[in-house]
Structure 1
Amino acid sequence: MQRTYKFRLYPSKQQEEKLLWTLDKCRFTYNLLLENLNKQDKPSKLKFQSMLPELKNQYPELKEVYSKVLQYECHRLFSNLKALSRLKKNGKKVGKLRFKTKNRFKTMVYNQLGFKIIYTGKRCQTLHLSKIGNIKVRIPKKQTIKGKIKQVIIKRYPSGKWFSIICVDIKAKIKQKPIKKKIGIDVGIKHFLTDSEGRQIENPLFYEKLLYKLQYEQKKLSRKQKGSKNREKQRIRVARIYEKIVNKRDDFLHKLSRFYANNYDFIAVEDLNIKNMVKNHRLARMIIDSSWNKFIQLLSYKVESTGGKVVRVNPRGTSKEYKYGKLDRDYNASLNILERGLSGQGLSFEPVETRPLREILASLVVEAGSPIL
C-alpha cells in the first residue's frame, strides 16, 4: 500500500538559489535527452540511461546534481512517451513531446536514495537532500510518517512556495470489516451531497466565491509590463488566490471524506462520467469547482484503508425511481444508490424509515471539532 505526505519546505536564500539551479539543470538534461530521442526510430531506455555519464563529461556542471535526480529525468521522458502512445491508441490526436521551458518545469525527484529526514524535536524538522543540503521542513507533531520512504518529490508552486511530497510504501494487512453501517451518497450542485441518512451538505463552491477577486487581480496583471518586477509581484498575487481556492477545497474534501470513512463500513456512490457532464457549458464551471471525482477518490482510499468498501453504481435514473413516497429528489436518489450498491454485491437492502432532511453548512464541515455531522 502506497501513501504520500506533503510538507512545506523553508529554504534559505542560498538554498533556494541552489534548488532553482538544480531544477534548471534537470530541465536542461530532459531537453537534451528529448533532442536525442527525436533523432532515433526505436529509442531504448537503457541506452539513454547510459548516455548520462557522457553528458556529464560534456557538461561538467551536471556533476553538481545528484545522480539519481538526473536518472529520473530519463524515466520521466519515457513515461511521458508511454502516456503519449496510450492516448494515440485510444484515438486521440497527439503530436510530439515538447521541450520544457522554465515555466513548465517545477519538480525534481529523489528516487530511493539521496534524502533523509532528521527529527530535531523543534517546530521544524530537517530534510537532507544530497548535493543541496539540510532544508527546514514543517512536519506537524501529530503526523508520523509510517512505512519505508521510496521517493521524495521537491516541487515549486507558482506562488513561490516549496513543498516536499514524500512517497512511502506501507506493508500492512487490512482486514475486511463486516458490513454493519452502510450509506448511499448522491452528489449535486445545489448541495454538495445528500446521503441516505438525511444529511444535505452545502456546496461551498470556493472558486465561485473568489471569482470576482480573481478577475480583479487578473485584470491588474494584464496591465503590467511584461518582464517587469511589478508584473512578477502581481503574478504571485494571482497564484496565491488560486492556491487559496485549492487549499480550501482540499481541506473541505479531506474532512468530509474522513467523517464517512470513520463512521461507515459500506458506501455506495454514483459512477459519474465528469468528461461528458462538463459538455454542458452552463454548469461546467460549477461541476469542476465541486470536485466530485476527487471526493470519491479520497473517500475510496480512506474507506479501504479502514477495511471498508466503496462501490460505484450506474447513476442512470437514480432520481426518477420513486419507491418511498414523496421525497426530496436527491434524498430519494441516495436511497436508490444504496439499494443498487448492496444488490450489486449480493446483499439485501432493508427498507429504511425516511427522515426529515438536515441541511448542513459547508463552514461547519471545515470547523475543527464540529459535532454537526
Structure 2
Amino acid sequence: MQKSIEVEYWVVDQDGALADPGELTEYSAFVEEEFVYPLLEVKTPPCETYSALRSTFVELLDELLLKADELDKMLVPLGTPLNSESIEVRPSERSRIQKRVLGDNFAYAKHCAGTHLHFEKRNVTDQLNVLASLDPALCLLNSSPYFQGERVANSARAYIYRKKCYEYFPLHGQLWDYVNTVGQWERQLDRLFDSFKRASMNEGVEENDIDASFSPQDIVWTPVRLRDEMPTVEWRAPDTSLPSQILRLAEEIGTIMEQLHHAEVRIEGATGNVTEERITIPEFDAVLDYVEEAIHDGRESSELSAYLERMGFDVREYEPLTQKIDGHEYVSLDEAREIRLRYGRRLRRDVDDLTRS
C-alpha cells in the first residue's frame, strides 16, 4: 500500500520570531508555501514501504534544515506558534472567499500547523470509518497547549481549528460520522459545496469566483478526507511534531490500514479492539467522547490511553511535546520566541538521530 506524509512547520529567524520561508520553498518540489507566510509544508512522494517512507522523509528534512542553516532560519515542530504578533495570509482568491464566509473565525486557521498521512485508496468505506475511529490518536502528537499566549487545551490546534474556526460550519471542519458507502460520503460533499456556495454568495462573492476556487472534493477541512491525488484517503487529525514521532504514528496507523485487507470491520460498543481477524470500532458517540479527551486531556487520560492501546498503539513510546511545554496559564511573546528556538534545535537533533540510525 502506498503512503505519504505531509507536515507543516513554522519558520523562525535566529531570534525565534516568525519569518517568511523565502528560498526554503524554492529548492525542492517537495517543499511548498502554506497559506500563511511563516509556515511551509514538506510532502513526501508516495512510498510503497514504511522503510522507504522513513528514509525519504528524513532525507527531505535533512536537506531542508541544511538550507535553513544557510539562511539563518529554523523550523519549529509546534502545533501553534504559542504566542505571536499578527500572522499574514498569502493573497489568494480561495483565502479571500473563506474570510468572507467564516468572518473573524477564519483567523484561527492562521495559527495551526498539522500532520497529514495519506494512504492509497483500497477498501475505502472501511478506511474512512476506521480512520474516523482513530481520530483520538491525535493526542499522541499534541505539541502545543497555547493559543496567543493563553492555555486552551492539550492540543490548542485541534481545539481552535475545530471548535472556533468552523464553529458555524461544523461539518466543514469537524469529524464526520461513519458512512455505509463511498457514495454517501460524496453526496455529503456535494451538499456542503452547495451550502458553502450559498453562504459565499450571500456575502457578495460571485458564483464564478467560487467555482474557480472550490469544488466538492476540496470544500471541507475535516480530519478525514478523500483526495484525488494518488488517489488517497487522508488522515489529518494530529499536530505537527518531531519527525521520529510522526514516523512512529505513520507506521502504526499504516499497520491498521494494511489489516483492513483481510480483517472484518465491525461497529460495536464503546471499547474498540484490533486483532488479526477483526477490527472493532466503537459507536461514533463513544469516539467523540475519546476525541474530547484527546483534545483537552491528551495522553494523560487513562481511559483514552487504554482505548488507543486496544486499537494497536504503543502509547508509552510517544512523547507529546505539550507535556514538556505545558505548566503556565500564559506564555508571553518573549517566552514564545524562546520556546520556538528550543524546539527548533530539538527538531535538528531529532533529524540528526534519525539520519545516524
The TM tier, using the shorter chain, reads under 0.3
Q: Which is bigger in relative contact order (C-alpha 8 A, separation at least 6)?
A: 2
More strand by share: 1
Flag the structure with larger Rg.
Answer: 1
